[in-house]
Amino acid sequence: MMSMFYQAYQNHVDLTEPWRAAAVSSLRYLNLVPKGIPDRFLARLAAALELISRSALTYSRPAYGIDRVQVGNRELQVTEEVAYATPFGSLLHFKKDDAREQPRVLLVAPMSGHFATLLRGTVKTLLQDHDVYITDWHNPRDIPRDRGRFGLDDYTEHLITFLGQLGPRPHMVAICQPSVSALAATAIMSEDNHPCRPATLTLMAGPIDTRISPTKVNEFAKSRSLKWFEDNLISYVPVQCKGAFRKVYPGVLQLTAFVSMNLERHIKQHLDLHNHLVKGDTEKAASIKTFYDEYFAVMDLTAEFYIETIRDVFQDHLLPQGKLTFRGRPVNPAAIKRMGLMTVEGEKDDICSNGQTLAAQDLCSGVRAYRRVHHMQAGVGHYGVFSGKKWNNEIYPMLRDFVHVNS
């Protein structure tokens, strides 16, 4: 039964842990051999042991590792502070010492099988010109069942609460999946004339209307019934965990899906890692290890959040059809006024195709034309919209200027 898959997987991980621990210990002793001794067998053995030691996933959030940031001609120290927390997520503040007042930005991270640290580079770039907060979501496998459920409405409510903690005229930047909740939260806050409604909303590669140029991801979501997703992808958190028996979409399944989309590339990367280790090319090996340390840090999704997202966003398209509700209230994007709206898409995005995020511009008919910006970035895929050189050099400057003009 699928409901027992996660437990069986965790049992396998626990049973094989002694092998990984033995590999770590052996590698430690092997590294005591003087470096000057040329022995290709030892190099290959050390590389194999390292790959064995890295053969398991981790369910703990990696560190952001942002200690300092360049602001103008000054390098400022950065300290992480939890400004507010619930059982399901923290509002994490990257506080800069001795910094002048800058626009406050809430960076909304997706819940898609990885931790918010996937946006580490996005945070570091934004910190140059903004006072940055992030939605640091907690892993459901570590949250006891008695702390309640966490569905799509709960996600949206967290955004409203977090924005309230930032004070008047904050700015919100949503990456990918949470664009729907970010737009819903903004609409509800605008309708309520909430004092902390966003001064600007930036939606980046988000599935506002997945009926437009459907991708393989969108087509898969519509190719099965909700019952199929519940029966085949939902499982119980293992008894070894604090969240035992909570129903989740296991992060290992999401990761497996991602890996299978580019299986040859991931195999090649690990073969390259082995060869770099054998040759002693530590810099190239470190680059691959850093990437997979993050990529193999996985996070579960609560069953209700996953199923409701599949149903409301990818199957029934409630937001673009004017049928989405929040706690029983209709979500009306036309109620959004007196604020800036920016949408960003990537030319080669195979997860959220061109036009799906742009759709927000038509939905938000109350936003004045001179406060709207849309940018389609040439030459980038999904992740290139919010990370990498073109994000830093082409997209970010536009976002920075947009935020500052509307502050």
268 located within any domain: no
Asked if pLDDT for residue 81 goes beyond 60, the answer is yes
List all residues 6 or more positions away from 225 whose beta carbon is below 8 Å from its beta carbon: none
Q: What is the pLDDT of residue 55?
A: 65
Instruction: Give the C-alpha distances (Å, rounded to integers) separating 210 from 333, 338, 361.
Output: 17, 27, 15
- Is 239 domain-assigned? no
pLDDT of residue 349: 95
Contact 190, 157 (CB under 8 A): no
Residue pLDDT, tens place only, 130-139: 999 999 999 9
Does residue 55 lie within any of the structural domains?
Answer: no
73 in any annotated domain = yes
The CATH number given to whatever domain includes residue 123 is 3.40.50.1820
Whether 1 shows a pLDDT value over 60: the answer reads: no
The tens digit of pLDDT for each residue in 6-42 reads 888 787 777 777 777 777 787 787 777 666 555 677 7
Please tell me the distance from the alpha carbon of residue 181 to that of residue 162, in angstroms, as a whole number: 13
Q: What is the pLDDT of residue 386?
A: 96
Per the structure, how many domains does the chain have? Answer: 1
251/105: higher pLDDT: 105
In a domain, 289, yes or no: no
Which segments within 97-239 are labelled E, that is strand? 104-108, 131-137, 171-175, 200-204, 235-236
Q: Domain containing 326: what range?
A: 68-219+302-405
* Residue 239 confidence (pLDDT): 94
Mean pLDDT value across residues 32-61: 72
pLDDT > 90 in the chain, percent: 69
pLDDT value of position 175: 98
Q: Is residue 380 part of a domain?
A: yes
Q: Over the stretch 243-291, which tens digit does the pLDDT of each residue have?
A: 999 999 998 887 777 677 677 887 888 788 778 878 888 888 888 877 7
Statement: residue 5 has pLDDT above 90:
no
- Total residues belonging to the chain: 407
Q: What confidence tens digit (pLDDT) does each residue in 157-203 have?
A: 999 999 999 999 999 999 999 999 999 999 999 999 999 999 999 99
Query: What pLDDT sits at residue 3?
Result: 65
Residue 276 lies in a domain: no
pTM of the model: 0.90
Considering the domain boundaries, does residue 347 fall inside one? Answer: yes
What residues form DSSP beta bridges with 92?
Answer: 82, 134
For range 349-368, the mean pLDDT: 96
> What pLDDT does 37 receive?
55
State pLDDT tens for residues 60-71: 899 999 999 988
